[in-house]
């Protein structure tokens, strides 16, 4: 039986086949995401993977709605697997924001589902680090979040030569659209043309833009002007004060596909332009209000970073550590009469925090020793009798005989 296209199997390393994904690499990525988020004072939250369909249909915009995995459940509810986390977060915040001091700084690592055309960097399921800051309008919040995004990527060993944050603002595009005589009702449609510009043939883009009263040359000139607006300048200065100037550039090409963004938007890309976006985010000051039916009005911003492109990039730059599961002690049971007491030793050492292995069934001493070597156990331990244990350091070959009780103290 085959797995579904666009879904992944995660195996422990060493990987049995090139078509499977590494559970160890995934854990490495999750650990780094959590470590950096916590350093910035973000708290972890989570929500349900299934949500009422309408949470997404009214708020996220056409593109994502077209990619929903949705169905009717046995209770005749129309539901969807979450394609993104932001609407869930907005719903959760709106429900209990009074219990939390502002700004609220939360992160999550949800698995998300989008029925996309499977291609490099795009699957039908991915894990996404989400970090969001709610309840602050000052651009200092935008800068703080972008700094977190930069430091998250740096935590994996990536440098300013490997990636760049392309910073933009829907406010700037809104002004451009208004001054160009655009009809407000078609603003989001216009934003979507800009979002797809890099991937659309020029004649096609020209046709779509001219239908709205714009020209490709006009749009390109605006993008190339690259003049930071006052709010973007503020963010740039804030990041420069931290020594992070080299990681950002103004790029009005970025506008983001999702419907709910209201102001500053940004995306992280690899410098060489070999991969799809590593991360994307921005301000969504109206979403909490929209989702709470007007009851709660809180400004917000955040970003999402997927594990798929990130892993491709880390692999390409040789930045993944070697994954092995270290065994601290292999307990050799050469005399079956000592199995019960050996089990006690195994259990005590594990209780003391060591990773311990042994043969579950009787096995020849050579076979057990070979297994200890395969596992690269840093120590072997063998009971001399029911009171003493011989511990051997596999590298230095130093041996020590000690009482059973104190065995854990000799594993340094």
**Among residues 28, 34, 122, 371, the one that binds ligand HAM under rule CB under 6 A:** 122
Q: Which contiguous run of DSSP H or E holds residue 108?
A: strand 104-108
Chain positions 47 to 106 lying near ligand HAM, rule: CB under 6 A, are 84-86
**Among residues 68, 216, 248, 278, the one that binds ligand HAM under rule CB under 6 A:** 278
Q: How far is the CB of 251 from ligand HAM (least distance, A)?
A: 15
Which distant-in-sequence residues (6+ apart) come within 8 Å of 21 by Cβ?
Answer: 8, 9, 10, 11, 15, 311
Question: Among 303, 375, 312, 374, which Cα is nearest to 25's?
Answer: 312
Q: Does 196 bind ligand HAM (CB under 6 A)?
A: no
Alpha carbons 248 and 263: distance in angstroms, whole number: 17
Question: Among 107, 110, 113, which Cα is nearest to 85's?
Answer: 110
**Among residues 306, 328, 342, 389, the one that binds ligand HAM under rule CB under 6 A:** 306
Q: Is the separation of the CB atoms in 249 and 273 below 8 Å? A: no
Question: Between residues 139 and 280, which has the closer beta carbon with respect to ligand HAM?
Answer: 280
Chain positions 131 to 160 lying near ligand HAM, rule: CB under 6 A, are 132
Please state the φ and ψ torsions of residue 403, each to the nearest 5 degrees: -65, 150
Stretch of 11-19, 159-167, 298-306, 399-407 lying at the interface with ligand HAM (CB under 6 A): 298-306
Q: How far is the CB of 122 from ligand HAM (least distance, A)?
A: 4
Q: Does 281 bind ligand HAM (CB under 6 A)?
A: yes
Alpha carbons 166 and 297: distance in angstroms, whole number: 28
| E strand residue ranges, 271-352 | 279-283, 300-306, 329-332
Stretch of 38-46, 200-208, 216-224, 273-281 lying at the interface with ligand HAM (CB under 6 A): 273-281
Q: Does 270 bind ligand HAM (CB under 6 A)?
A: no
**Among residues 255, 277, 331, 332, the one that binds ligand HAM under rule CB under 6 A:** 277
Which pair of structure tokens corresponds to residue 174?
């809104």
Alpha carbons 152 and 33: distance in angstroms, whole number: 6
Chain positions 200 to 259 lying near ligand HAM, rule: CB under 6 A, are 258
Cβ count within 10 A of residue 26:
15
Pairing of the two strands 78-81 and 125-134: unpaired
Stretch of 115-123, 212-220, 320-328, 333-341 lying at the interface with ligand HAM (CB under 6 A): 115-123
Question: Between residues 126 and 208, which has the closer beta carbon with respect to ligand HAM?
Answer: 126
**Among residues 130, 152, 238, 378, the one that binds ligand HAM under rule CB under 6 A:** 130
Q: Does 379 bind ligand HAM (CB under 6 A)?
A: no
Which pair of structure tokens corresponds to residue 91?
């719903």
- Number of residues forming the site for ligand HAM (CB under 6 A): 24
Question: Between residues 46 and 72, which has the closer beta carbon with respect to ligand HAM?
Answer: 46
Q: Does 123 bind ligand HAM (CB under 6 A)?
A: yes
Name beta bridge partners: 174.
none
Q: How far is the CB of 385 from ligand HAM (least distance, A)?
A: 58
Please state the φ and ψ torsions of residue 194, each to the nearest 5 degrees: -65, -40
Q: Is the separation of the CB atoms in 223 and 209 below 8 Å? A: no
**Among residues 32, 302, 349, 368, the one that binds ligand HAM under rule CB under 6 A:** 302
N- to C-terminal Cα distance for the chain? Answer: 47
Point out which residues bind ligand HAM (CB under 6 A). Answer: 84-86, 114, 116, 122-123, 126, 128, 130, 132, 258, 277-281, 302-306, 308-309
């Amino acid at each position: 039986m085959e797995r579904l296209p666009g879904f992944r199997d995660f195996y422990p390393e060493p990987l049995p086949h090139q078509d499977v994904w590494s559970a160890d690499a995934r854990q490495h990525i999750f650990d780094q995401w959590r470590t950096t988020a916590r350093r910035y004072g973000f708290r972890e939250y989570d929500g349900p993977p299934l949500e009422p369909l309408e949470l997404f249909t009214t708020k996220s915009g056409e593109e994502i709605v077209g990619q929903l995995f949705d169905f009717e459940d046995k209770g005749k509810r129309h539901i969807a697997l979450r394609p993104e986390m932001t609407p869930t977060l907005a719903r959760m915040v709106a429900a209990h924001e009074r219990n939390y001091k502002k700004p609220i700084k939360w992160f999550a690592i949800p698995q998300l589902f989008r029925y996309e055309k499977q291609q490099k960097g795009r699957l039908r399921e991915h894990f996404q680090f989400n970090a969001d800051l709610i309840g602050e309008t000052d651009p200092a919040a935008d800068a703080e979040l972008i700094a977190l995004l930069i430091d998250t990527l740096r935590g994996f060993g990536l440098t300013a030569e490997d990636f760049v944050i392309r910073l933009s603002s829907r406010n700037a595009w809104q002004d451009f659209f208004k001054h160009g005589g655009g009809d407000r009702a078609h603003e989001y449609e216009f934003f979507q043309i800009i979002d797809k510009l890099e991937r659309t043939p020029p004649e096609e883009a020209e046709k779509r833009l001219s239908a709205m009263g714009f020209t490709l040359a006009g749009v390109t000139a605006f993008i190339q002007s690259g003049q930071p607006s006052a709010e973007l300048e503020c963010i740039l200065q804030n990041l420069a004060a931290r020594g992070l100037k080299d990681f950002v550039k103004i790029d009005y090409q970025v506008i983001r596909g999702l419907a709910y963004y209201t102001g500053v938007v940004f995306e992280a890309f690899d410098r060489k332009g070999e991969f799809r976006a590593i991360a994307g985010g921005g301000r969504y000051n109206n979403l909490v209000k929209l989702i709470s039916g007007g009851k709660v009005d809180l400004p917000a911003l955040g970003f999402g970073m997927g594990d798929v492109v990130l892993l491709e990039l880390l692999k390409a730059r040789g930045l993944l550590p070697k994954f092995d599961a270290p065994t601290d002690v292999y307990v050799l049971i050469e005399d079956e009469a000592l199995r019960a007491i050996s089990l006690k030793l195994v259990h005590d050492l594990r209780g003391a925090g060591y990773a311990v292995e042994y043969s579950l069934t009787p096995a020849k001493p050579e076979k057990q020793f070979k297994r200890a070597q395969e596992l690269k156990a840093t120590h072997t331990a063998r009971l001399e009798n029911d009171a003493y244990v011989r511990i051997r350091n596999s590298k230095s070959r130093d041996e020590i005989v000690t009482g059973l009780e104190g065995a854990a103290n000799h594993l340094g």
